[in-house]
Amino acid sequence: MKYHIWTVGCQMNVADTRKLAAGLDRAGCIATDAPEDADLVVLNTCSVREHAEDRAIGQLGRLKKLRGRGREFRIAVMGCMVGPRDEDLRRRFPYVDVFARPQDFAPVMELAGIDDSGGEFWPTTFGEPNAPTAYVPVIHGCDKFCTYCIVPYRRGREKSRTIDEISREVEHYCARGVREVTLLGQTVEAYGRGLEPGGLEAGRWRADDRGRPPDLADLMRAIHDVPGLERIRFLTSYPKDMTARIVDTVAELPKVCDSFNIPVQAGDDAVLTRMRRGYTLAEYLEKFEMVKARIADAAMVTDIIVGFCGETDAEFRHTYELLERLRFDKVHVAAYSPRPGTIAHRTLADDVPPEVKQERLQAIEQLEARISFEINQRLLDSEQDVLVEHRREGRWSGRNRAGKLVHFEGDAETGAMVRVRIGRATAWSLQGTALPAPVPA
Ligand code: SF4
């Protein structure tokens, strides 16, 4: 059987797609890039923004036409568009064979005629051939219920995987050439809550009734010495869950990259309250300073929503000023779009006109382009260790420790760690030339 998986959305969705593909591959199915050649087409969807949902609906329209032309194939929709109740989706898209909630692979495997009871399946390829990076979900779901966000309704409550299970997965990847893992969670520092108390011994978590549950710091220590592993990243931080213990561990462990993605979402307390983010701006700044005090040159990334319900010019200006002050390495910015089923959709008016949202979006993008450009200029003539991810259009590409994209020329191969001298820097990437001596593993 040939299958095609279409994916949109966050890294968690990418990880889910790779896992599903691993299960299908293990059963002898063959991946194809062309949906028109596939016997099974899976859409792995995202609901965080309206635009992402619209793209999935567009894909469904194309698949319906293919069916109309007499092509016989099965269609599965999984991911965040599928909630606990799918009657509405069934009514709107009666030609879809199966709807599966995020990480619920069994209905899709069943649709492919595969008995899924054979235990764990983990990816053996990671996107590009020989790609040296892998995503590892460590905590699923979210308990925070920010008013604009659909994730807790679609991915459920926070649930951590055990350290042993995650360690085995990381060992499996590294035995196949992976050198960098990204530990994923919607709120990754919440990792461990609800797990068995105990303590770390020789990299394994031993449950007992005297200890405390593990946290992200324990998890990082547990996987740190997996043979072959060179870099550990983690995403996404929720400000209130960040602890000094975790930041100290990031500072201490050489393989953990000093790069933090801490969404602030808005730089104004009234907006943060309407979003129910659970912190004030002062509390956010405290966490930001806690990181910077321990790791002065940590790379900082944040997320911003502009045009949230009731956002005034003054409130938006506070966000703009915050970004000017904190000078993030990178800002992911999006204009607010109401998501049916969320608290904001039920209780707050989406009253910022679309053209104002666009103006604010562009203002943040321009500000960020300038700041990123200035930050990256400081890296001119520096030497950066780059983990090579692929070669396209005659040049190699990978990321430095801070997670910045680096394109370079010279001798390299996918999966190698190469030292690159930076000769050019833009807001979005660094460019340079490989230095002859490889970095010792
Ligand atoms: S922390 Fe808030 S924004 Fe992030 S996934 Fe949870 S509810 Fe959504």
When pLDDT is cut at 50, 70 and 90, the band that residue 325 belongs to is: very high
Q: How many CB atoms lie within 10 A of CB 195?
A: 20
What are the percentages of helix, strand and coil residues in the chain, rounded to 5?
A: 35, 25, 40
| R_g (Cα) of the chain, nearest Å | 22
pLDDT digits (tens, 9 = 90+) for 66-113: 988 888 899 999 999 998 878 889 999 999 999 999 888 999 999 998
Can you say how many angstroms the Cα of residue 187 is from the centroid of all Cα atoms in its chain? 11
Question: What pLDDT is recorded for position 120?
Answer: 64
Q: What is the mean pLDDT of residues 264-280?
A: 98
Question: How is residue 439 annotated by DSSP?
Answer: P
pLDDT digits (tens, 9 = 90+) for 147-190: 999 999 988 999 999 999 999 999 999 999 999 999 999 999 99
- At 134, list the tokens: 């892998």
Can you say how many angstroms the Cα of residue 200 is from the centroid of all Cα atoms in its chain? 27
Of ligand 1's atoms, which has the minimum distance to the CA of residue 277? 2
Residue 19 parent element (H or E):
helix 11-26
Ligand 1 proximity of 309 Cβ (cutoff 6 Å): no
State in Å: Cα 263 to ligand 1 middle.
10
State in Å: Cα 151 to ligand 1 middle.
6
Alpha helices (runs of H) in 211-312, residue ranges in sequence order:
216-224, 244-252, 269-275, 281-294
Q: Which of 238, 241, 274, 332 to mutate to test the pocket of ligand 1 (most atoms within 8 A of CB)?
A: 238
State in Å: Cα 305 to ligand 1 middle.
12
Ligand 1 proximity of 237 Cβ (cutoff 6 Å): no
Q: Which of 151, 155, 188, 276 to mutate to test the pocket of ligand 1 (most atoms within 8 A of CB)?
A: 151
Residue nearest to atom 8 of ligand 1 (CA): 149
Residue 440 has pLDDT above 80, yes or no: no
Ligand 1 proximity of 149 Cβ (cutoff 6 Å): yes
**Distance between CA 348 and CA 337 in Å, rounded?**
12
Give the chain's end-to-end CA distance (angstroms, integer). 41
Residue nearest to atom 4 of ligand 1 (CA): 186
Residue 118 has pLDDT above 80, yes or no: no
Ligand 1 proximity of 144 Cβ (cutoff 6 Å): yes
Ligand 1 proximity of 191 Cβ (cutoff 6 Å): no
State in Å: Cα 186 to ligand 1 middle.
7
Ligand 1 proximity of 148 Cβ (cutoff 6 Å): no
State in Å: Cα 134 to ligand 1 middle.
23
Ligand 1 proximity of 20 Cβ (cutoff 6 Å): no
**Distance between CA 256 and CA 299 in Å, rounded?**
12
When pLDDT is cut at 50, 70 and 90, the band that residue 127 belongs to is: low
Q: What own/partner pairs with CB < 8 Å and gap ≥ 24 does 87-92 have?
A: none
Ligand 1 proximity of 10 Cβ (cutoff 6 Å): no
Q: Quick one: which of 305, 301, 299 has its CA closest to 262?
A: 301
State in Å: Cα 144 to ligand 1 middle.
6
What is the chain's mean pLDDT, rounded? Answer: 93
Question: What pLDDT is recorded for position 178?
Answer: 94
Of ligand 1's atoms, which has the minimum distance to the CA of residue 142? 6
State in Å: Cα 112 to ligand 1 middle.
33
Question: What pLDDT is recorded for position 126?
Answer: 53
**SS3 (DSSP) at 110:** helix
Ligand 1 proximity of 142 Cβ (cutoff 6 Å): yes
